[in-house]
A and B are shown apart, each in its own frame.
Chain A
Amino acid sequence: MQHEIQARPAATVVKVDLDQGESLTCEVGAMIAMSSGMTVETTSRQKGGKGGLMKGLKRMFSGENFFLNHFTAQQPNQTIYLGPTLMGDVIYHPLDNATLIVQGASWLASDPGIEVDASWQGFGKALFSGENMFWVKCSGTGDMFLNSFGAIYEVMVDGSYTVDTGHIVAFEDTLQFKIGKAGKSLIGSFLGGEGLVCKFEGQGKLYCQSHNPPSFGKLLGPQLRPR
């Protein structure tokens, strides 16, 4: 599998070249264009795995009927263009017998061999500024593509680092984390406008996004026609 990321950082797409027999699992709606030697299978099951339902996927789509698309190249030299739904970035992350925790809306596509578990509850009952936030635990070996709202920037955490929770895209599970308030005092945080932050500790890679959807939505929303 070869890939090329284009049109960074706001209308980013990834062009993936697949050889005959290779497959890619994507979220529904991610396919923009593809060459004609590709087939697609819409399913709720993990491809090539034990055939079981991807864990926690019901939550991913709030209990509605849900589907994933498995694209397979039936001929050599097939190409597929993938893109996320919102304006934003795409980044490539190779998993090497490791685990990455990904913000639910940031998972775009992965090698079918990677296990995707959407029932991860590592943050416990912490309240997040984005109400429908959930997290996906991705483990195994293979290629992964993440997307964001905003530009993606990487931080190699070595010690500790603090991120506003709305700006977390993904992080390696070698990191410890703690949710808390941003400012020195509770009142200060509330009035200052910073909501919850996540303090990461240890060593590992952290992907952040420069913007967050609810802040933009709340700015544009009031100017729209009421429903």
Chain B
Amino acid sequence: MEAEIADKPSFAHIHVKLDPGDSIIAEADAMASMSSDIEMSTRWNGGFFSAILRRIFGGESLFVNEFTTKTGGTLVITQALPGDMDVFELDGNTMFLQPGAYIACEPTVNLGMGWAGFASLIGGEGLFRLKVSGHGKVWFGAYGGIFSRDIDDEYVIDTGHLVGYDPSISIKVGMSGGIFSSFFSGEGLVTRVKGPGKVYMQSRSISGLAAWTNARM
């Protein structure tokens, strides 16, 4: 399999070339176009309870598309958001992703749901996070450009900008400044992450765009 992310960081999409027998798992609605040698079938996404949980809380669909080919073919995988995409390769380790950031993975990767804690909900990041583990490549996307920091101690992230992180990172919610400043600054609550570990962020947020749009409607 060959996969190349094109048009980073603005309208990133993946050009995939599958060899005979290869397959790739992708989110529903992720296929933009494909050659006719590609077959698409739908399968139930993991265990029963985790699939239901994902549907109710995580926003991922109950079903995933598996793209396979007997003779070899190409396909273009995309996301609903204008923005960046990146890929990491799991080698028995685990990564957490914001639900909605997941785009595609190799069939050897396990997709599961994890509890992110109430702090995460209050901070606007949601109750659940996607847990990817096993072996193989995972493609994820963002609204905006993806950037990362290797955190030793603590780092502060505005809500809506967190995309993914190592399991060694702990997250809690806090105020961006003093009580007056937190409210009047427009920043409000922020997510405080503690390392050591790597954090992936996006350079825009849907909540930021929504707030900006609402102010002008």
Partner-B contacts on A (CB < 8 A): 9-11, 87-89, 150-151, 153, 155, 159-164, 167, 182-184, 188-189, 191-194, 199, 208-211, 215-216, 218-220, 223-225, 227
Instruction: Please report the total number of B residues contacting A with Cβ < 8 Å.
Output: 39
Question: A223 contacts B28, CB within 8 Å?
Answer: no
Nearest Cβ in chain B — how far from A115, in angstroms? 28
By beta carbon, the residue of chain A nearest B14 is A210
Question: A225 contacts B13, CB within 8 Å?
Answer: no
B41 partner residues in chain A, CB cutoff 8 A: 183-184, 188
Partner-A contacts on B (CB < 8 A): 6-7, 10-13, 15, 27-29, 31-36, 38-42, 61-65, 76, 78-82, 206-207, 209-210, 213-214, 217
B61 partner residues in chain A, CB cutoff 8 A: 191, 193
By beta carbon, the residue of chain B nearest A168 is B33
Nearest Cβ in chain A — how far from B69, in angstroms? 13
Total A-B residue pairs with C-beta atoms closer than 8 Å? 124
Bound CA–CA A183/B29 (angstroms): 12
Question: A88 contacts B63, CB within 8 Å?
Answer: no
Nearest Cβ in chain A — how far from B206, in angstroms? 6
23 A-B Cβ contacts within 8 A?
A9-B11, A10-B11, A151-B6, A151-B7, A151-B10, A161-B33, A161-B36, A162-B35, A162-B38, A163-B32, A188-B42, A189-B42, A191-B61, A192-B64, A193-B65, A199-B36, A210-B78, A211-B80, A211-B82, A215-B29, A223-B206, A224-B214, A224-B217
Bound CA–CA A191/B26 (angstroms): 14
B217 partner residues in chain A, CB cutoff 8 A: 224-225, 227
B11 partner residues in chain A, CB cutoff 8 A: 9-10, 87-89, 150-151, 210-211
B78 partner residues in chain A, CB cutoff 8 A: 150, 167, 210-211
A88 partner residues in chain B, CB cutoff 8 A: 11
Contact of B31 among A184, A194, A225 (CB under 8 A): A194
Question: A167 contacts B42, CB within 8 Å?
Answer: no
Question: A184 contacts B214, CB within 8 Å?
Answer: no
A184 partner residues in chain B, CB cutoff 8 A: 39-41
Given A210-B11, A223-B210, A164 contacting B80 (CB threshold 8 A): no
Bound CA–CA A64/B69 (angstroms): 48
Nearest Cβ in chain A — how far from B18, in angstroms? 14
By beta carbon, the residue of chain A nearest B215 is A225
By beta carbon, the residue of chain B nearest A11 is B10
Contact of B42 among A159, A183, A216 (CB under 8 A): A183
A224 partner residues in chain B, CB cutoff 8 A: 210, 213-214, 217
A87 partner residues in chain B, CB cutoff 8 A: 10-11, 82
Question: A219 contacts B13, CB within 8 Å?
Answer: no
A189 partner residues in chain B, CB cutoff 8 A: 42
Bound CA–CA A175/B33 (angstroms): 16
Bound CA–CA A215/B217 (angstroms): 21
Bound CA–CA A150/B6 (angstroms): 11
Question: B28 contacts A193, CB within 8 Å?
Answer: yes
13 other A-B residue contacts (CB within 8 Å) besides A151-B11, A183-B40, A219-B80: A10-B10, A10-B82, A151-B6, A151-B13, A164-B32, A167-B33, A167-B78, A182-B31, A183-B65, A208-B32, A218-B80, A220-B209, A223-B207
B33 partner residues in chain A, CB cutoff 8 A: 155, 161-164, 167, 208
Bound CA–CA A1/B152 (angstroms): 57
